[in-house]
Amino acid sequence: MADREPTSPLVVGIGGTIGGISSTERALRIALDGAAKEGFRTRLFGGADMARLPLYDPRATTRTADERAFVDAVREASAIIIASPGYHGSISGVVKNALDLLEETARDERRAYLADMPVGLIATAYGWQATGSTIAALRSIVHALRGWPTPFAAAINTQITKFDDDGGASDPAVVEQLRLIGRQVARFAPLAAANA
Ligand X SMILES: Cc1cc2nc3c(=O)[nH]c(=O)nc-3n(C[C@H](O)[C@H](O)[C@H](O)COP(=O)(O)O)c2cc1C
- Give the binding site for ligand X (CB under 6 A): 17, 22-24, 85-89, 124-127, 130, 158
Nearer to ligand X, 8 or 159 (CB): 159
Longest Cα pair distance anywhere in the chain, in angstroms? 47
Q: What are phi and psi of 27, to 5 degrees?
A: -60, -40
- Give me the residues paired with residue 189 across strands: none
Distance CA 119, CA 62 (A): 28
Distance CA 80, CA 146 (A): 12
Q: What are phi and psi of 30, to 5 degrees?
A: -65, -40
Least distance (Å) between residue 41 CB and ligand X: 24
Residues counted in the chain:
196
Q: What share of the chain is helix, strand, coil (3-state, %, to 5)?
A: 40, 20, 40
What are the CA-CA distances from residue 123 to residues 17, 102, 112, 146 (Å)? 12, 20, 25, 20
- State which H helix or E strand residue 126 sits in: none
Least distance (Å) between residue 109 CB and ligand X: 36
